Structure 1
């Protein structure tokens, strides 16, 4: 029996690119997948109304889920997943961007890999990016900082395919509200990846800039903040050990009379102050994380309805 697919596409003011993307989906998607696929557009409360009708879709139907307010890309994905999990009977869900940088032809790779490893979420791992050098440079820094603070490696974004049984698990992971791939890493839901090249934007200008990249990186790290806090505390303790060693050296130099007058006391007191500050800040962060873990969290599967204004079926 053929599998049914839902393609979730969050968008904000990207109607032109979205229409071009649907055209590419019609031409690039495997026909056996296309005829059993539906599209769910999550309109993140766009400031611009759709002026042109959607191009004819070769699959089953297009639905537009409009939100009451602009929540951002990650939350729009979480709401779309939650809506599908509760209201649409399907076998697999594809998440992709509306701008065309996620190539529809790569959905075929995701589907093929999903058949090889059923029960896993499959991500599109970027083999080649098309952004400018500065963006790629800071993206490498982001991945390095993410690994340093969390101990995890992140080489993928939102473009992915989710089997139905994992979808029901995923929409009950509160962390996807802040960061979809980070939430999956945190939840320990099994996942895999396939290599893909990032395509170019179909229309309009990219909304991802340096500030957006920093915010995206911080949201991903915040999902794993408990691990991050502990690693920062361990690093702080290590630096405190080094500070104690330097203080010991300073005292030794002071005792043998090789220290400049006033130098030993000034440097020693400075090291002690910095050591105490870093340790107390790290300890405070750990206690904040422990308090956060004891609180009731936002569950997308339960709370997503508060943000859904309406759902329109186009065809």
Structure 2
């Protein structure tokens, strides 16, 4: 399968939505782009086999990369990118979800932005979301916590365009194994964004539940674990200073006789214990991170083959 452009689509039991997505790619992507585009579907070890044939694709062909085990959305993307970087030849790779929430018509916008910045990864920045109010509420909390713990701002997901030169850099970034957008930010590879509204799911129900969403958020934060650990340590030192100040006030009140008997000593001891515990835990976390940085990391471009069961050329 040879093409100038490859659309990478990770999927797990979303065969119906994937067929509808292919139809929309056929109709919504500009003809000069579509004619030179192939699809690489990374099947994340779906337990439900594909019962219907793929919708006829008007590009150059479809390949299905099946994994030995279910690894999750982010790792499926990392494996797909590594396979393309080492086995296929192309100029640009588009990463998008199979459910249709990444609208194929917006691929044209990503290409237009990429023409202006050819050596930059272009992300779809979510200007408007279609999810429920509750989801959007917790998503805002996630973005605030992410910025507080990492010092970075994240306004995009997986939907993106990667030029070939940056693809070779990206598949050697170990952090994309845990979180693709976070790995790009951490890698310091140039990236930019295009404001794009999120579309609605084409078929079926989302496989993401509340626990999965929390784990996804934590995986993004874990990419910056060293910065997070230092920030937690600084916060712990600040709170320790506050606790010491409170203890001094309590001792002063006790000296002038305004403290209730037994209350001053109990509160001071409790604050001291909490202060020492938080400081030692934070310090231990920092040393764990420093030890982790000395170990050999998982490199997707090297290790992805261990998880690939088969590659099927469909059309």
Give your verdict on TM over 0.5: yes
Over aligned residues, Cα RMSD in angstroms?
0.7
Distance in structure 1 (CA, Å) of the matches to 2:278 and 2:17: 48
CA contact (8 A) 1:135 1:210 kept: no
Matched, 1:72 2:33: no
Aligned residue number for residue 91 of structure 2: 91
1:215-245, Cα deviation, whole Å (9 max, x unpaired)? 1000000111000000000000000000111
* Structure 2 spans left out of the alignment, 5+ residues: none
Distance in structure 2 (CA, Å) of the matches to 1:276 and 1:75: 38
Aligned residue number for residue 308 of structure 2: 308
- By how many angstroms is 1:270 displaced? 0.6
Distance in structure 1 (CA, Å) of the matches to 2:147 and 2:209: 22
Aligned residue number for residue 287 of structure 2: 287
- By how many angstroms is 1:157 displaced? 0.3
- Map 1:185-224; keep pairs closer than 5 Å: 185-224=185-224
Distance in structure 2 (CA, Å) of the matches to 1:195 and 1:178: 25
1:259-298, Cα deviation, whole Å (9 max, x unpaired)? 1111111111011000000000000100110011110000
CA contact (8 A) 1:6 1:94 kept: yes
- By how many angstroms is 1:212 displaced? 1.2
- By how many angstroms is 1:210 displaced? 1.2
- Map 1:27-42; keep pairs closer than 5 Å: 27-42=27-42
Residue 167 of structure 2 aligns to a residue in which SS? helix
Distance in structure 2 (CA, Å) of the matches to 1:126 and 1:32: 26
Distance in structure 2 (CA, Å) of the matches to 1:188 and 1:245: 41
- By how many angstroms is 1:256 displaced? 1.1
- By how many angstroms is 1:64 displaced? 0.3
Residue 269 of structure 2 aligns to a residue in which SS? helix
Superposition TM-score, scaled by structure 2 size: 0.98
* Structure 1 spans left out of the alignment, 5+ residues: none
Distance in structure 2 (CA, Å) of the matches to 1:175 and 1:249: 46
Residue 124 of structure 2 aligns to a residue in which SS? strand
Distance in structure 1 (CA, Å) of the matches to 2:49 and 2:65: 14
Aligned residue number for residue 170 of structure 2: 170
Distance in structure 2 (CA, Å) of the matches to 1:275 and 1:42: 48
- By how many angstroms is 1:117 displaced? 1.1
Alignment: residue pair count: 313
Distance in structure 1 (CA, Å) of the matches to 2:77 and 2:98: 12
Aligned residue number for residue 249 of structure 1: 249
- By how many angstroms is 1:100 displaced? 0.3
Matched, 1:118 2:118: yes
Distance in structure 1 (CA, Å) of the matches to 2:176 and 2:164: 17
Tell me whether 228-237 or 260-269 shows the greater mean CA deviation. 260-269
Superposition TM-score, scaled by structure 1 size: 0.98
